[in-house]
Structure 1
Amino acid sequence: MFDLDWTRIFAFANLILSSATVILAFALLIYVLTHNLLSDVGRSFAMLLACVTVVYAGDVAVGRVTSVAAAAPWLRLQWFGIAFIPAAYLHFSHALLSTTNWRSRRRFLTVVVSYGISAVLCALAVFTDFLVSDGIMQLPVTHLAPGPLFPVYVLFFAVTALFGARNVFEARRRCLTPAARHRLNYLSVAFAAPGIGVFPFLVLISAPTFISAPVILLLSTVGNLVIGFMLVVLTYTVAYFGVLAPDRVVRQSLIYYLLRGPILGTLIVMLMLAIPDTQQLWGLPREMVLVSTVVATIILLQVAIHLAKPLIDRLIYWRDRAEVAWLAEIDRHLLTSTDLRQVLENVLVALCETLRMPAGFVAALPPDEHPRLEAVVGPYDAAAAFLQSDEFAEAAAGGGAGGKGERDGQPAPASDLLICGGTWLFPLREQNGGDLVGWLGLAVDSTQPPRAGIAPEERFLVRALLRQAAKALEDRQVQQGLFAALRHIIPEIERMQAWRSTVQYTGAIPLPAMDDGSLVAQPDFERWVREALTHLWGGPKLTNSPLLKLQVVADLLTENDNNPSRALRSALKRAIELQRPGGDRKLTAAEWLLYNILEMRFVQGERVRDIAMRLALSESDLYRKQRVAITEVARTLADMEKEKLQQE
């Protein structure tokens, strides 16, 4: 009786923790897919999480089946995750190593072959008895027995795990910057967690009495706790790949996501499993008690999160408590000084890892002042000494004299590279005016063969990162004045969007800067155009439109008194004018129909009924034609933006 009680206790605890792990793995999978989808590291890690989710979902199902026969299909379905976990490990480690600028076609082909082997093993496990067969079919510990080909899977798992671990440690060894190495340290410690949680250890047990059921369940319970924690650590590390965001933003996003997602889901599952499965409870139907308890739990947890928010924020913002007190009065998405410095540090980390440079710095150039270090990766004293050297003064005098407008407002391209002995210098210029706002320097690695310059395949990436560094310096100048003003008044300030653009680590898909033409590829682009047209002469859909970040709008700021809304209005009116056919205007001509609708409806602001009468259309037909016209304006505006970016 005593053993039976412990078996039930451990079985129940294991069921709860297995449920918590599958909820956590699935939630983290969704988080990675929504935050790091454009990163090779993020996509490969999502595959790992998908395998873990499938296996633990099978564990939960097996723990709740009512018969041994019902458990067998679930045990085989788990092999969709078990079979693919080795290939996912190899893929993940390959993506990590690629971020250090070590590309290998052989490694890539190995990953492809490993996925093919995993697919074959999965088919053998699900549809045949060659890999696994019916084994210990006794509740609550039910598992399959090894088939004749099971050693092949063990060998495949071991080889891929060893190569994966080698790739991870090699990636850590190749990291030149402390920030990148620090992140890889966390990842190296937690790297083995998904494999340990997914590997079918019980299949290796051929005899039912080899290990008692309570011991197996106890080990599984402890393992689930450790694996859940390691999955969070892995996700926290991977969250930095593919995003150029400060540590505070990543921590805040992940912490609140875990509180409102996996933790809430786990509490609900615990309640559902803990409430006795009886017809009535306390004189009430079980369904009523269950629903009431779940609703109360959801509400109380939200209240608890709200009450704990100041404490959580203090832990997240501990370096910027004074500034965050002011930021809370206007907008949580406003960047602090530390955030901006971390943005610059992230840019330096990406540049150093891409160009294989061990150190770098970003120096701001305040008006009528000497350059001031804003961010440093590597020795601070060496960067400060270089800024005081005659060598830098001569290079700055020659390379920074371009002045306003000489480069049509473009940030420093790769062709502006100045080589000063053992340092590469890039001038950073304002996005629109072209004035010099700072310098970005990279220290050459003296132990490596000298480089003649930037390789062609690296130029787009370097240019995008330099643009982000220049934009960060511009934002810092604006924000310093903003913080000073906030100490006296609390004005109504337009929301500053949090910097969520992507760090272009080598091997990731290069993305443009935060104010480039990537908006035109968004599925909501046409909707944004339609909303801006409806408020063309004023309104929140114009003044708060995401289209304000278009480069074509930024180039129109000067001729519109630096008013973003007026600049967007001007860009939309130009797009409308481009719909105008040649020749004299005719109200009823087919080729003039779209232009007439746009000009009357949005530019002139006439009523739909009046326009329909003038154009000899029904109102329903007018609305259909208006949708077509808006689509053409959106396409034209997208073409204008692409042309502007190509000119850069």
Structure 2
Amino acid sequence: MFQAINAGLPVVVQILNAGNAITAFSLLFYTLTFNLRERSARTLALLLGCLAIVYATDVLAGTAVLDSEKALWLQVQWLGISFVPAAYMHLSDALLAATGRPSRGRRHWVIRAGYLFSILAFVLAALTPQLIGELSYVGPIAYRTAGPFFFAFATFYLASLSFTGVNLWRAYRRSLTKVSRRRMRYLMFGSLAPFLGTFPFLTATGGLVPQVPSLTWILLIGANLLVAAQLVLMSYAVAYFGVSFPDRVVKARLFQWILRGPIVASATLATTVLVNRVGIVLGVENSRAVPITMVATILALQFIITLARPTVERWLFYGQDRNDVERLHLLEQRLLTSGDLRQYLESILNAACDITSAPSGFVAVVREGTVELEVAVGPEDPLEGAEDLPPVLLAEDQVEIENLGAVFRWNGYWLTPLQAPEAGEVAGILGLKTTVHPKDLEPEAVEGLSLLRERATVALTNRALQREVFAAVDRLVPLVEEIQHMRSVARYGNLQSLALPFEKGTGDAGLADLVKKALGHYWGGPRLTASPLLGLRVVRDAMVDHDGNAVNALRSILLTAIDRVRPGGERRFTAEWMLYNILELKFLQGRKVRDVAMRLAMSEADLYRKQKVAIESVAKAMAEMEREATTSRKSGTT
């Protein structure tokens, strides 16, 4: 029994080494995927890369057969070991800078010196016997003996550990909130993982280990488990730096990443190795059970995670906000998108055409006093021969049909308004091109057509309500992002960020999106009257010249920004004037895309590309105007 346990302990150590390599690689990819712009996250990625190299080469050396191969992998391992001290110091400096204490030069020079020492250490380990010596063994464990300069490297390693500890303590002292201080404690505890996982203890002690082999393996198992937990804690703490997402989103995203990455991969590896070992004991090598077990483990774990994860996240991460989050998830699942609406209306139109024997039909949406084609079926174009869709209340002919209401005649189509009884407003128009007079329809056909009209009305009404929700979200998201960003940076002591102007927090892409929406409703509409741009200082200053009317002030600022895009001299229709002409024709004159493209002699696709550049130019001009207003306000108060 004890012999079997002792024989299995080295296998467990190899599995845990591989699991730590998988965990380090997975957390490295997580950091590079979600938080690459944050300096502390980039330095953590470098440190995780070093750890992944150390553990991966340790597994390769442990499974190698030839001594020369073991020696080679243990030499390659120093690519990770050598750079851990410098990456350690770099991470601590980035964390301290994130709390509002950037380096004044001294820490940067120390870090540069650390990277030079790391490069020198790797060169010595790779090309000379001065840092590490010959291959040696402690039982089945292979290691490289210490060279003449090894203890100089060990001193450098311990010095970097001290430098890191001091910086982390200073960052902890500068953290403001209870939550940020708790996460900084997690980070300080987790930062021991690189030291425990990468320092060559056997090389430093000359192969000194406990005399009881099983005790050695148990210590290695405990150390590997501790390192895995510390890696997760360290990545968890750094994941919050510089992100504008709520805490629950960061937690849930990291939790899912760990479940579907390290947990699934490590469990699959463990079961595969176990089945393979059992097959060898039973005398069945290269058993077909190994790939079957691998596939079954992956599928079973993915199935369990898919079922259990939502419930676990809801109870662990959402807290008192659980009901609000569930409502948002319900909205996401039940949302009626534009594509869903078109598919649904197409099915209704096809059914209506079948009932009335109409070859074609259309549904148009009434939005902000205009009628827009939503979907059409059949071979004929409802707009052919007509400049526009029909007005809602004007028609050439009108009849009253029982159970159907008023039906209008227009351009060969019979039109029926899609009007919700409780709303009292026309949501759209259902048009059918048929030679059959509505009065000649069978009662069953009229009843079926009435039912289809009600369903189309419900769909359009719900879609209009969702548009209002989206409009509110469009106004809310930039402000929420700004608050979340300020919350994340101020939590760790960077209070100066709270005084940054609006446009710095919003970013060029966000500002350009707001400008595009405001220009789309330049002559009136919710995207102008409820735009977050109304909060700009330059707009508030301009309200003085517009009798306190914020909308007129924003309209004037947009016009001024467009004028800044205008080239000098007399207006021409040349490439130099292209951006201004697009802005003037499309937004100030309100012409249709087709007319603007014909006027400027370009395709509609090219017009959309040029329009994006023009809007970005207006956004840059507004950002410059905001900076000027902020600067003048500051100079006026000093």
| TMscore range, shorter length | 0.5 to 0.7
Aligned residue number for residue 228 of structure 2: 228
Aligned residue number for residue 122 of structure 1: 122
Aligned residue number for residue 632 of structure 1: 617
Pair 1:305 & 2:309 matched: yes
Pair 1:578 & 2:578 matched: no
Distance in structure 2 (CA, Å) of the matches to 1:63 and 1:571: 68
Aligned residue number for residue 327 of structure 2: 329
CA contact (8 A) 2:24 2:49 kept: yes
Residues 356-395 of structure 1: pairs in structure 2 closer than 5 A? none
Q: 2:484 aligns with which of 481, 500, 513?
A: 500
| Equivalent position amino acid for 2:142 in 1 | T
Per-residue deviation, residues 422-456 of structure 1 (Å, max 9, x unmatched): xxxxxxxxxxxxxxxxxxxxxxxxxxxxxxxxxxx
CA distance change for structure 1 residues 627 and 9 in 2, over 3 Å: closer, same or farther?
A: same
CA distance change for structure 1 residues 313 and 620 in 2, over 3 Å: closer, same or farther?
A: closer
Structure 1 unaligned segments of length 5 or more: list them: 334-490
Aligned residue number for residue 20 of structure 2: 21
Aligned residue number for residue 600 of structure 2: 615
CA contact (8 A) 1:29 1:49 kept: yes
| Equivalent position amino acid for 2:227 in 1 | I
Distance in structure 2 (CA, Å) of the matches to 1:267 and 1:567: 62
Q: What displacement does 1:147 show?
A: 1.7
CA contact (8 A) 2:534 2:540 kept: no
Aligned residue number for residue 11 of structure 2: 12
Distance in structure 2 (CA, Å) of the matches to 1:88 and 1:48: 5
Residues 269-418 of structure 1: pairs in structure 2 closer than 5 A? 269-271=269-271, 273-274=273-274, 276=276, 281=288, 290-291=294-295, 293-306=297-310, 308-309=311-312, 312-318=313-319, 320=320, 324-326=322-324, 328-330=326-328
Distance in structure 1 (CA, Å) of the matches to 2:105 and 2:11: 48
CA distance change for structure 1 residues 325 and 270 in 2, over 3 Å: closer, same or farther?
A: same
CA contact (8 A) 1:576 1:595 kept: yes
Q: What displacement does 1:261 show?
A: 3.9
Distance in structure 2 (CA, Å) of the matches to 1:26 and 1:191: 17
Distance in structure 1 (CA, Å) of the matches to 2:553 and 2:329: 25
CA contact (8 A) 1:245 1:500 kept: yes
| Equivalent position amino acid for 2:234 in 1 | L
CA contact (8 A) 2:51 2:197 kept: yes
CA distance change for structure 1 residues 94 and 314 in 2, over 3 Å: closer, same or farther?
A: same
CA contact (8 A) 1:141 1:213 kept: no
Aligned residue number for residue 598 of structure 1: 583
CA distance change for structure 1 residues 289 and 256 in 2, over 3 Å: closer, same or farther?
A: closer
Distance in structure 2 (CA, Å) of the matches to 1:604 and 1:632: 19
Aligned residue number for residue 449 of structure 2: none
Q: Secondary structure at the match of 2:130?
A: coil
| Equivalent position amino acid for 2:599 in 1 | R
Distance in structure 2 (CA, Å) of the matches to 1:187 and 1:268: 29
| Equivalent position amino acid for 1:304 in 2 | A
Distance in structure 1 (CA, Å) of the matches to 2:144 and 2:35: 36
CA contact (8 A) 2:272 2:293 kept: no
Aligned residue number for residue 259 of structure 1: 259
Q: What displacement does 1:268 show?
A: 4.1
Q: What displacement does 1:195 show?
A: 0.5
CA contact (8 A) 1:52 1:198 kept: yes
Q: What displacement does 1:199 show?
A: 0.6
Residues 192-271 of structure 1: pairs in structure 2 closer than 5 A? 192-204=192-204, 206=206, 215-242=215-242, 251-271=251-271
Per-residue deviation, residues 299-347 of structure 1 (Å, max 9, x unmatched): 43222212x33xx4334344x3xx54245324799xxxxxxxxxxxxxx
CA contact (8 A) 1:68 1:139 kept: no
Distance in structure 2 (CA, Å) of the matches to 1:18 and 1:567: 64
| Equivalent position amino acid for 2:49 in 1 | A
| Equivalent position amino acid for 1:26 in 2 | F
Q: Secondary structure at the match of 2:143?
A: strand
CA contact (8 A) 1:132 1:146 kept: yes
CA contact (8 A) 1:516 1:549 kept: no
| Equivalent position amino acid for 1:329 in 2 | R
Q: What displacement does 1:146 show?
A: 1.6
| Equivalent position amino acid for 1:303 in 2 | L
CA distance change for structure 1 residues 572 and 328 in 2, over 3 Å: closer, same or farther?
A: farther
CA distance change for structure 1 residues 207 and 103 in 2, over 3 Å: closer, same or farther?
A: closer
Distance in structure 2 (CA, Å) of the matches to 1:606 and 1:67: 77
| Equivalent position amino acid for 2:144 in 1 | L
Q: Secondary structure at the match of 2:327?
A: coil
Q: What displacement does 1:123 show?
A: 1.4
Q: Secondary structure at the match of 1:578?
A: helix
Distance in structure 2 (CA, Å) of the matches to 1:177 and 1:187: 15
Aligned residue number for residue 81 of structure 1: 80
Per-residue deviation, residues 197-230 of structure 1 (Å, max 9, x unmatched): 1111122354699867655443222111011112
CA contact (8 A) 2:100 2:494 kept: no
Q: Secondary structure at the match of 1:329?
A: helix
Distance in structure 1 (CA, Å) of the matches to 2:511 and 2:176: 43
Determine which structure has more spread, i.e. the larger CA radius of gyration.
2
Q: Secondary structure at the match of 2:489?
A: coil
Q: What displacement does 1:73 show?
A: 3.1
Per-residue deviation, residues 365-402 of structure 1 (Å, max 9, x unmatched): xxxxxxxxxxxxxxxxxxxxxxxxxxxxxxxxxxxxxx
Q: Secondary structure at the match of 2:484?
A: coil
TM-score (norm 2): 0.60
CA distance change for structure 1 residues 506 and 313 in 2, over 3 Å: closer, same or farther?
A: closer
Aligned residue number for residue 398 of structure 2: none
CA distance change for structure 1 residues 603 and 240 in 2, over 3 Å: closer, same or farther?
A: same
Per-residue deviation, residues 156-188 of structure 1 (Å, max 9, x unmatched): 222332344355456656878766655554444
Distance in structure 2 (CA, Å) of the matches to 1:534 and 1:264: 49
Distance in structure 1 (CA, Å) of the matches to 2:178 and 2:42: 25
| Equivalent position amino acid for 1:76 in 2 | Q
| Equivalent position amino acid for 2:228 in 1 | G
Per-residue deviation, residues 541-597 of structure 1 (Å, max 9, x unmatched): 969x99869836974997899999x998876555434333466654x3454333223
Aligned length: 478
Aligned residue number for residue 420 of structure 1: none
Distance in structure 2 (CA, Å) of the matches to 1:273 and 1:541: 62
CA distance change for structure 1 residues 8 and 572 in 2, over 3 Å: closer, same or farther?
A: farther
Distance in structure 1 (CA, Å) of the matches to 2:6 and 2:17: 16
| Equivalent position amino acid for 2:231 in 1 | L
CA distance change for structure 1 residues 506 and 107 in 2, over 3 Å: closer, same or farther?
A: farther
Distance in structure 2 (CA, Å) of the matches to 1:535 and 1:275: 64
Q: Secondary structure at the match of 1:161?
A: helix
CA contact (8 A) 2:175 2:491 kept: no
Structure 2 unaligned segments of length 5 or more: list them: 280-284, 332-467, 634-638
Q: What displacement does 1:114 show?
A: 2.2
Q: Secondary structure at the match of 2:584?
A: helix
Aligned residue number for residue 482 of structure 1: none
Residues 29-178 of structure 1: pairs in structure 2 closer than 5 A? 29-32=28-31, 41-65=40-64, 67-94=66-93, 99=99, 105-136=105-136, 141-169=141-169
Residues 429-468 of structure 1: pairs in structure 2 closer than 5 A? none
Distance in structure 1 (CA, Å) of the matches to 2:80 and 2:224: 16
Distance in structure 2 (CA, Å) of the matches to 1:121 and 1:329: 56
Distance in structure 2 (CA, Å) of the matches to 1:170 and 1:638: 36
Aligned residue number for residue 344 of structure 2: none
Distance in structure 2 (CA, Å) of the matches to 1:546 and 1:18: 54
Q: What displacement does 1:633 show?
A: 3.5
Per-residue deviation, residues 272-292 of structure 1 (Å, max 9, x unmatched): 54554976636xxx6576446
| Equivalent position amino acid for 1:56 in 2 | Y
| Equivalent position amino acid for 2:159 in 1 | V
TM-score (norm 1): 0.59
